[in-house]
Amino acid sequence: MPHPPIQRKEYNRSSIWNVDMLLFTKSTKMGVELHGYKYVYYSRKHHGKQKGDLVMTDTIKRDVSYLSKTLFIKGLQCHKALFLHKYNPELKDEVSDAKEALFSSGRDVGVFAQQLFPGGVEIPYEGLSLSDQIKQTQTEIKKGTATIYEAAFGYKGAFCKIDILHKGKDGWEIYEVKSSTAMKDVYYDDVAFQYYVLRNTGLPISKASLVHLNNEYVKDGNVEVDRLFIIQDLTKTAKEQESVVSEELQKQREMLTGDLPDIDIGEYCNNPYDCDFAEHCWAHIPENSIFDLRGKGVNKFDLYRQGIIRMKDIPKYMLNFKQGIQVAGTLKKKDHIIKKNIRDFLESLWQPLYFLDFETFMPPIPLFNGTRPYQQIPFQYSLHYMEQEGGELNHSEFLASPNCDPRHELTEKLVNEIPGSACVLAYNMSFERRILEDLGSWFSQYGSRIENIIDNMRDLMAPFRNKDCYLWQMNGAYSIKTVLPTLVPELSYDEMEISDGGMAMNAYTMMCETEDPKELERIRKALLEYCSLDTLGMVRIVERLREIGG
Ligand code: SF4
């Protein structure tokens, strides 16, 4: 029988990016199949298609029926996100370093969890097509392999990989591994999708479970994999959700054969996950919008749906004290300074004055005795200090060598460097205090000296958090990354290779992975520069507060 003809349909996908898409579809008994699409990009200076503007074309084969678990979950969050992911992936936001690090730690946890059922056979991703992965899985099942990692299954275009598939005495058991330390609602959907696909392939499933890290587990000697992970049996809900999954898959497929869904931004843009298309979908939100408002109490999407988008249009009665300061500051370029409170804060400090900042990393699988999953482990600190007001500014620092337990060396150096009489300033001191408390619990020999440092700590963030010193350019924020460039523009994180704590954490992990001495030195230098700027910045902020407080 001859194949039905392939239809050509033209859509204008986005007036912002000036991208047209040609869809090549074919009608079959099952509905409309997508056979390919072709982007036609136009120069951005023209809004609309103009002859001669074609700058690039790109054709990619697509199969509308293919829906992986990730795509299904994306579609549950927002159909438009799924559509864009399938047809306009070039509109995705850039993947941040923090997100990339999260993916990477997720992979590590998945591999570690395989030890729950050791001796299994892994179905690799690389070098195998989807159908090859499915075939190889079937081969292992037929061979009698009892545990398969990354087992692959497909049913009518719905495709999933199972982190751990284990043959128990009553049938096959699904284990979906997550690197988080708690259950989340979206995990029920993950497991339900897998259960649906596997059941429909005819595999007898006796159990479907979610495996996540146990944040109460404390390492003592070798990691005990049975205690590191918590297994939650979700079989009952997975069974109950079978028809829901089936209906939703149908809806998603139908949606994918049509036009881009007309879905406006909403609460779902970052729930349960931050959507990859935020920059694209939120492009119409102007500067100084209701979404720039900090703090709680105002339902921004309620306002948005009422057509209130700009900050200037928020009814004043809805704003709390701090939000009122932010809105007045933004609209009238007005600072909010309470000199007396700034002076009171400065008078609460004393000499010698020490400025402290830690950098930490958070291994999901505890590396050192006495630590829990994701516990912050300090690997670096910077300390600026002066013995008397207007005296010489000194600097000391510590950066651990890679691949060692940095805690003892760091603690010993720190307690020896901070005199018992010193006032210790930190920016957002709850973080530094928590690290110090942990150091005290690990090394009781330094306990009283650490307690003394904690007692003598003051929080430089306080005048900014309380809005005693608020410059309108801060736009409601009070982190050091906002306050420093606003008060001391000559000190900026902009040109730095490492410019925030997340990047510092990734850099230390890279230090532990590289064997190239030059690369190691480059990362060391970047880390030292970054941490030192944090404490030097605090010194300059205090100087500016003295000027502003009068
Ligand atoms: S940004 Fe929001 S509206 Fe746009 S695709 Fe993502 S979830 Fe949907």
**What pLDDT digit, counting tens, does each position of 396-438 carry?**
999 999 999 999 999 999 999 999 999 999 999 999 999 999 9
Q: Would you state the pLDDT for residue 343?
A: 97
Backbone angles phi, psi at 273, to 5 degrees: -125, 155
- In CATH, the number for domain 97-250 is 3.40.91
pTM: 0.83
Residue 263 Cβ inside 6 Å of ligand 1? The answer reads yes
d(CA 67, CA 88) in angstroms, rounded, equals 16
Query: 147-155 and 121-122 as β-strands: parallel, antiparallel, unpaired?
Result: parallel
Residue 80 Cβ inside 6 Å of ligand 1? The answer reads yes
Given pLDDT bands bounded at 50, 70 and 90, which one contains residue 94? Answer: confident
Residue 100 clears pLDDT 70, i.e. is over it: no
Mean pLDDT, residues 309-338 taken together: 95
Mean pLDDT, residues 524-546 taken together: 95
| pLDDT over 90 percentage in the chain | 78
Report whether 163 contacts 148 (CB < 8 A). no
Q: Would you state the pLDDT for residue 59?
A: 37
Of 331 and 15, more confident:
331
Question: Running DSSP on this structure, what letter comes out for residue 309?
Answer: -
Residue 258 clears pLDDT 80, i.e. is over it: yes
User: What residue owns the CA closest to ligand 1's atom 1?
Assistant: 278
Of 88 and 350, more confident:
350
Residue 41 clears pLDDT 60, i.e. is over it: no
Residue 268 Cβ inside 6 Å of ligand 1? The answer reads yes
| pLDDT over 70 percentage in the chain | 86
User: Beta-strand (E) ranges in 43-187?
Assistant: 54-60, 67-68, 121-122, 147-155, 158-167, 172-177
Q: Would you state the pLDDT for residue 104?
A: 63
User: What residue owns the CA closest to ligand 1's atom 7?
Assistant: 269
Evaluate whether 97-250 and 340-549 have a shared fold: no
Q: Would you state the pLDDT for residue 98?
A: 61
Residue 513 clears pLDDT 90, i.e. is over it: no
Q: Would you state the pLDDT for residue 37?
A: 41
User: Beta-strand (E) ranges in 335-486?
Assistant: 336-337, 353-361, 377-386, 394-399, 423-426, 457-459, 469-470
Residue 542 clears pLDDT 90, i.e. is over it: yes
How many Å lie between the centroid of ligand 1 and the Cα of residue 101? 23
- In CATH, the number for domain 340-549 is 3.30.420.10
Using the atom order of ligand 1, give the atom closest to the CA of residue 79. 8
d(CA 152, CA 129) in angstroms, rounded, equals 11
What are the residue ranges spanned by the domains of the chain? 1-62, 97-250, 285-321, 340-549
Q: pLDDT per residue over 178-206, tens digit each?
A: 999 999 999 999 999 999 999 999 999 99
Residue 81 Cβ inside 6 Å of ligand 1? The answer reads yes
User: What residue owns the CA closest to ligand 1's atom 4?
Assistant: 281
Q: Would you state the pLDDT for residue 63?
A: 59
Taking CB atoms within 8 Å and a gap of at least 24, the contacts of 327-335 are: 327/293, 329/470, 329/471, 329/472, 329/474, 329/475, 330/288, 330/292, 330/472, 330/475, 330/476, 331/288, 332/472, 333/472, 334/472, 335/470, 335/471, 335/472
Q: Would you state the pLDDT for residue 101?
A: 62
